Amino acid sequence: MTPQELVVCALDAQKHAYAPYSGFTVGAALLTKAGKVYLGCNIENKSFSPTVCAERVALFKAVSEGETDFDAIAVVGRDKDGIYKHFCTPCGVCRQALSEFCAPEFRVIFGDDTGDCEIHTLGELLPFSFEL
């Protein structure tokens, strides 16, 4: 699967985002090394702190189904006016959550609705991640 194809999966996932409070909808598509894709969207809550990011929804769906071998994640985000962020990057908590299962070489793909994307590694995005 190409990075652009994974971004299209993230755009699909974003359609299910539940973001009535921020209006910012996020989609994530997590690719396993075996080629399976797990989708996630942000799910907000009126009490705010239960809100979960799209990336962690995708990650926890995958891990809860026994998957722990990951290749890449694509992320897209759009504001309340429907304007795509160029580009939407994972928050610090999601970077740390990904680092639990993903090597520094794991690819993090920032996308939008233009077909354009930018590829970074988790090691670049989270140097000195917390380790026990």
Q: Which residues are catalytic?
A: 55
- Binding flag, residue 7, ligand THU (CB under 6 A): no
Which of the residues 37 through 76 are near ligand THU (CB under 6 A)? 42, 44, 51, 53-55
- Binding flag, residue 13, ligand THU (CB under 6 A): no
- Inter-axis angle of helices 3-14 and 54-64, nearest 10: 100
Q: How far is the CB of 13 from ligand THU (least distance, A)?
A: 10
Q: How far is the CB of 75 from ligand THU (least distance, A)?
A: 7
What is the rounded CA–CA span in Å between residue 40 and residue 37? 10
Give the residue carrying structure tokens 């080629």: 35
Structure tokens at 118: 């930018």
- Binding flag, residue 121, ligand THU (CB under 6 A): no
Instruction: Tell me phi and psi for residue 84, to 5 degrees.
Output: -70, 135
Q: How many CB atoms lie within 10 A of CB 68?
A: 12
Which span (8-16, 90-98, 101-109, 123-131) binds ligand THU, by CB under 6 A?
90-98
- Binding flag, residue 22, ligand THU (CB under 6 A): yes
